[in-house]
């Protein structure tokens, strides 16, 4: 029974074939202490037929109740700019993959189902055998004009590769490693230890659209959260993000940087940006200050908070950057209200270490307070930002060091200038084959700008 139900959930659903299999006598019901299972038939043909409809209906009910009746061949999209990767062993992964592909019009050929462990961490050997090799084979099988710019990993796909730590370590996020897919497929040797420079990174404008041919990488994001409901809410927010260009006078009225002429028109989506510094001086604080200045120059409403208190409330957020639990005043019970399409990032070493849900009363805190540990450390988690309403968030699977974190002074200006979610995040990331996990729909965007077709 388990194998047949799994076949229904993870492959094109052909109920006529299933009915014939049971009716043929090759599989028939067998009773045992754990209920009904399917086994090679020793029953008389007539008795087998009695059970055929019962078993068939039972399987249909089970599959329908768990994720609805979905047929992969019913996906009618033609989009080839995104490759969807799901875990065949995870019902939620398959369900979200199907619906995301349908909603974004992604071609069936660009939905790849892999047999993966149902764990967050994997060994390097498992990564190579179960993820890297199948993806390289798939890439090589596609015509060059159908090779995707983006890879979107579904819930249930592992996100951490175990290995040594430090700047020359071999541990990394699955997502950042998979950015190198075009190079692997081309037979290029890639150094396993440490990090490599991101050729798409830009310290400032202009912010070009992405194409894998230009830099021989892919941009990888994932749909993730504490549970499937949270993931589906994130997708809904992405699809309802509405690009908006204001009238020139509206831009001028919101332009608050003294001494710099306001642009005649700027890409804009109604919302605010909060950039929350911490008390200690550091490069991260300078990045936040630079982000506020650049956003204001683009006609955006950006608030730079320089006070020592953690800002725990904000309305109509389109972007947030801060220190998370590395701010000594951080509180997990923050009350942020977000616009659809809003992005967030924090300077926290292991904020994407797990997507498991902590207890409601869990509070991040100093590393010395070991009783506060969850998932191996006491640091804050990006899933709290997703739950509160952010549409895209970046975090780290392992220690990236500060210079390996997303740069808000690039992330937000690129996003409001017309780049999509994946482009904006990766324009702001200096390194690949490193620790970053970007959560969100890669195609989400809030501003009008020339885009490649999906």
DSSP string of 74-115, one letter each residue:
G----B-SEEEEEETT-HHHHHHHHHHHHHHTB-GGGEEEE-
Alpha-carbon distances of 406 from 147, 349, 436, rounded to whole Å: 26, 12, 8
Count CA within 13 A, CB hemisphere, residue 66. Answer: 17
Q: Is the pLDDT of residue 422 over 70?
A: yes
Q: Is the pLDDT of residue 400 over 70?
A: yes
pLDDT band at 309 (very low <50, low <70, confident <90, very high): confident
Q: Is the pLDDT of residue 20 over 90?
A: no
pLDDT band at 69 (very low <50, low <70, confident <90, very high): low
Q: Is the pLDDT of residue 443 over 90?
A: yes
Tokens describing residue 84:
């969807």
Sheet holding 301-305, edge to edge: 111-114, 82-87, 150-153, 219-222, 436-439, 392-396, 335-346, 313-322, 272-276, 301-305
Query: Residue 182 in contact with residue 216, Cβ under 8 Å?
Result: yes
**Residue 303 forms beta bridges with which residues?**
274
Query: Residue 336 in contact with residue 389, Cβ under 8 Å?
Result: yes
pLDDT band at 199 (very low <50, low <70, confident <90, very high): very high
**What is the pLDDT, as a whole number, of residue 10?**
45
Q: Is the pLDDT of residue 232 over 90?
A: yes
pLDDT, averaged across the chain: 82
pLDDT, average across residues 133-157: 97
Tokens describing residue 18:
């299933």
Q: Is the pLDDT of residue 53 over 80?
A: no
Q: Which DSSP letter does residue 280 get?
A: S
pLDDT in tens, 338-382: 999 999 999 999 999 999 999 988 988 766 577 778 998 899 999
The answer to which of 3-7, 14-18, 222-226, 355-359 has the lowest mean pLDDT is 14-18
**What is the pLDDT, as a whole number, of residue 4?**
46
Query: Residue 307 in contact with residue 326, Cβ under 8 Å?
Result: no
Tokens describing residue 146:
């159908």
Cα distance between residue 246 and residue 446, in whole Å = 12
**What is the pLDDT, as a whole number, of residue 367?**
64
Q: Is the pLDDT of residue 251 over 80?
A: no
Return the ∠ at Cα 269 (arms to 211 and 305), rounded to 5°. Answer: 100
Cα distance between residue 346 and residue 52, in whole Å = 56
Q: Which residues lie below 8 Å from residue 44, measured CB to CB, with a gap of 6+?
A: none
Q: Is the pLDDT of residue 255 over 90?
A: no
pLDDT band at 243 (very low <50, low <70, confident <90, very high): low
Cα distance between residue 143 and residue 19, in whole Å = 37
Q: Is the pLDDT of residue 39 over 60?
A: no
Cα distance between residue 94 and residue 90, in whole Å = 6
pLDDT band at 36 (very low <50, low <70, confident <90, very high): very low
Cα distance between residue 405 and residue 411, in whole Å = 11
**What is the pLDDT, as a whole number, of residue 343?**
98
Cα distance between residue 220 and residue 442, in whole Å = 8
Cα distance between residue 424 and residue 315, in whole Å = 22
**What is the pLDDT, as a whole number, of residue 21?**
43
pLDDT band at 249 (very low <50, low <70, confident <90, very high): very low
pLDDT, average across residues 289-296: 97
pLDDT, average across residues 103-107: 97
**What is the pLDDT, as a whole number, of residue 307?**
87
Q: Is the pLDDT of residue 37 over 50?
A: no
pLDDT, average across residues 149-168: 97
């Amino acid at each position: 029974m388990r194998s047949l139900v799994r076949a229904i959930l993870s492959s094109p659903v052909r109920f006529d074939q299933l009915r014939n299999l049971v009716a043929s006598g090759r599989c028939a019901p067998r009773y045992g202490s754990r209920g009904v299972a399917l086994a090679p038939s020793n029953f008389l043909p007539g008795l087998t037929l009695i059970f055929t409809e019962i078993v068939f209906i039972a399987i249909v009910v089970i599959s329908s109740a768990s994720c609805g009746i979905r047929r992969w061949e019913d996906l009618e999209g033609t989009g080839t700019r995104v490759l969807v990767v799901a875990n065949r062993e995870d019902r939620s992964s398959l369900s979200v993959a199907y619906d995301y592909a349908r909603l974004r019009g992604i071609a069936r050929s660009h939905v790849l189902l892999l047999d993966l462990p149902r764990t967050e961490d994997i060994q390097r050997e498992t990564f190579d055998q179960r993820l890297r090799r199948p993806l390289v084979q798939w890439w090589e099988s596609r015509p060059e004009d159908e090779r995707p710019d983006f890879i979107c990993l579904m819930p249930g796909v592992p996100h951490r590769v175990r290995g040594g730590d430090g700047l020359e370590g071999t541990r990394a996020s699955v997502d950042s490693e998979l950015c190198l897919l075009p190079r692997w497929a081309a037979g290029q040797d890639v150094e396993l230890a440490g990090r490599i420079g991101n050729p798409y990174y830009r310290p400032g404008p202009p912010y070009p659209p992405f194409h894998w041919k230009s830099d021989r990488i892919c941009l990888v994001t994932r749909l993730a959260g504490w549970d499937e409901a949270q993931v589906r809410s994130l997708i809904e927010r992405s699809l309802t993000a509405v690009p908006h260009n204001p009238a020139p006078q509206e831009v001028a009225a919101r332009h608050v940087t003294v001494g710099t002429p306001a642009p005649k028109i700027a890409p804009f989506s109604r919302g605010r940006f909060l950039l929350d510094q911490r008390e200690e001086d550091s490069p991260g604080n300078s990045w936040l200050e630079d982000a506020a200045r650049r956003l204001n120059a683009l006609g955006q409403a950006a608030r730079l908070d320089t006070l020592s208190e953690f800002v725990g409330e904000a309305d109509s957020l389109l972007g947030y950057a801060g220190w998370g639990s590395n701010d000594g005043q951080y509180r997990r019970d923050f009350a942020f209200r977000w616009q659809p399409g809003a992005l967030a990032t924090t300077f926290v070493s292991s904020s994407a270490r797990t997507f498991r849900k902590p207890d409601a009363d869990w509070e991040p805190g100093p590393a010395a307070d070991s009783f506060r540990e969850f998932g191996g450390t006491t640091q804050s988690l990006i899933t709290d930002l997703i739950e509160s309403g952010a549409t895209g968030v970046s975090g780290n699977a392992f220690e990236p060091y500060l210079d390996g974190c997303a740069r808000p002074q690039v992330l937000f200006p690129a996003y409001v200038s017309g780049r999509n979610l994946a482009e904006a995040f990766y324009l702001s990331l200096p390194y690949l084959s490193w620790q970053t996990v970007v959560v969100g729909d890669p195609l989400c965007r809030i501003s009008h700008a020339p885009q490649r077709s999906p």
